[in-house]
Amino acid sequence: MKLEKPEKRHLIIVAYALILLVLSIPIKNLLADAWVSSPGLKGLLYELERETGKPVVERWKSLEVLVLGIFWGMLAATSWLDYKKRLQGVLLLLASSIVVLAYVSYLLPRSVFLLVGAVAGALITYVRSEKVTKTYRKCEFGTKIIYWIGSLAVGIALLSVIAHNYALNRDFGFIIEMPYLMYLISSVAFVKVLKKFTDYEVSSTKVMVVGPYRVGKTVFMGACYDYAVGEDLVAEFPTPDLVDVHRHLTQSNAAMPECWPPPTPPHAIKEYRFTYTCGTLFVKDVELLAYDYSGELFEEVLRFLRRETEGIGEMPRKIGASILAADQLVFLLDVQDLSGEGETRAALGAYIEIAKNSKKPYYLVATKCDALWDAKWEVSDENYERLRARVMKVLNRYPEFKVLEKRCRGDVMYVLVFTSKDGERRGCPHVREEGRLLSLGYDRVLEVLGGAG
């Protein structure tokens, strides 16, 4: 699953990178000035070499190349291991590589130090990273070191230039003159932008799954979480209720005979929430949230959205507030329930009302589509389209659906969880050998909600 389309938030970090690239011009001049000034960095090293008789300058140059190698190694490891810092790593690698191309002749004789430093930087980043899933590690340490290395280098260079000119002038009046004023301004700006650049977090979106009682929210959320975990989409922060549902769906046995989650008792409420990450370079976090509740609460949620708040309980208020706080909504359509004309029209009418009162973009997802799946069909793209035709034929019976479809953010999506036809789990969710549900359509749902569709 990939999210290759940059969004507005992704463009922010690209803008930071461009600002750093522009600021690198005066910073490069500052570093050069600090290196050649006497008594600057270079002057101090040559003086130390004369006093000790040792190749101090050459050793310093080798140390510089080693640090550069560590810097590149950290960037490369961060880009590989940490999805959420990949864009920073790639942009910094590109920017630093372009700048360093001018110093190829300086680096080639010391390529061994560059290689050793790169390996050391990658190992340090890996060891200090935090394992999240089998394919993802969080590498906050690497980006922090990158910030401190850059800030320290600029700070030392600025202090060196100021110290040298103060020794010559015996006052600080030169600071308001060019190029020293430019050095000072660009150094402060560089450090601030570098901080924002390294602290940048990936874009995120909150998705609220909405539906009346027994529309399939519980199984929908459990199957979404199952797919995200199985595909290593960095599924994080599942609520205890969601973990319990997933266990029911995939691990029922003699000790846990109920393979389908039990109905929510009257006046009770369960929270199903988790966050998953999709994308390669342009990464995005998606928080998926649903509340499961008994039937009488749904009408109170609608009253809250109509601003009829008198007598509304705490939980309907919380659910309504979550709808208003979401970035986008998912409306679930129970295909098995579409024979009930009154209930279906009421649900579709409620969705129209929610869309009108919340003014949120929304998607439509048909659930329990196994009722329309032919038992003779194999799981294939061709049969997936056949299922779509059957689902749309049923939904198009309702004028309310056509009103909803007109303003839907994309095509109607449809999902189902296959059941076992024989064995101990007959009638239960079909679980494959690797412990994942045999389901259809959930890959499409998570991809579209992430913005790739």
Question: According to the model, what pLDDT value does residue 7 have?
Answer: 63
Q: Does 186 map to a domain?
A: yes
| pLDDT average per 10 residues of sequence, the chain (453 residues) | 54 83 84 66 70 78 86 88 83 77 80 92 90 80 80 85 74 75 89 87 86 85 90 84 87 60 76 86 86 78 82 82 91 76 72 89 90 84 86 87 88 88 76 85 89 56
| 152 and 212 part of one domain | no
| 427 and 406 part of one domain | yes
Question: According to the model, what pLDDT value does residue 220 have?
Answer: 93
Domain finish residue from 165, 199, 233: 199
Range of the domain at 212: 203-450
Q: Does 220 map to a domain?
A: yes
* Burial (CB count within 10 angstroms: exposed 0-12, middle 13-18, buried 19+), residue 407: exposed
| 254 and 156 part of one domain | no
Question: According to the model, what pLDDT value does residue 331 have?
Answer: 93
* Residue of 94, 145, 110 whose CA lies nearest to 124: 145
What is the spatial distance between Cα 242 and Cα 358, in angstroms, rounded to a whole number? 26
Question: According to the model, what pLDDT value does residue 59 have?
Answer: 80
β-sheet bridge partners, residue 271: 291
Q: Does 275 map to a domain?
A: yes
What is the spatial distance between Cα 373 and Cα 391, in angstroms, rounded to a whole number? 10
If one counts the domains in the chain, the total is: 2
Domain finish residue from 158, 176, 199: 199
| 13 and 151 part of one domain | yes
Question: According to the model, what pLDDT value does residue 117 have?
Answer: 92
Q: Does 271 map to a domain?
A: yes
* Burial (CB count within 10 angstroms: exposed 0-12, middle 13-18, buried 19+), residue 401: buried
Measure Cα distances from 138 to 141, 142, 298, 390 in Å: 9, 10, 39, 44
Question: According to the model, what pLDDT value does residue 328 have?
Answer: 92
Instruction: Give the rounded distance of the alpha carbon of 109 from its chain centre.
Output: 41
Question: According to the model, what pLDDT value does residue 41 have?
Answer: 63
Q: Does 1 map to a domain?
A: no
Question: According to the model, what pLDDT value does residue 295 have?
Answer: 64
| 67 and 137 part of one domain | yes
| 212 and 130 part of one domain | no
Question: According to the model, what pLDDT value does residue 2 have?
Answer: 41
Question: According to the model, what pLDDT value does residue 1 have?
Answer: 39
Instruction: Give the rounded distance of the alpha carbon of 361 from its chain centre.
Output: 20
Query: Domain with 367 in it: what CATH number?
Result: 3.40.50
Domain finish residue from 199, 220, 252: 199
Q: Does 25 map to a domain?
A: yes
| 403 and 273 part of one domain | yes
Tokens for 56?
Answer: 């101090």
What is the spatial distance between Cα 444 and Cα 388, in angstroms, rounded to a whole number? 13
| 88 and 192 part of one domain | yes
- How are beta strands 362-367 and 328-334 bridged, if at all? parallel
* Residue of 364, 351, 288, 360 whose CA lies nearest to 325: 360
Q: Does 2 map to a domain?
A: no
| 208 and 134 part of one domain | no
| Residue 40 half-sphere exposure toward CB, CA atoms < 13 A | 15
| 12 and 39 part of one domain | yes
3-state SS class at 139: coil
What is the spatial distance between Cα 408 and Cα 204, in angstroms, rounded to a whole number? 21
Q: For 426, which DSSP code?
A: B
| 189 and 332 part of one domain | no
| 191 and 244 part of one domain | no
Contact 261, 218 (CB under 8 A): yes
What is the spatial distance between Cα 241 and Cα 155, in angstroms, rounded to a whole number? 51
The angle at the Cα of 93, spanning 88 to 98, to the nearest 5 degrees, equals 130
Q: Does 3 map to a domain?
A: no
On whether the pTM is more than 0.85, the answer is no
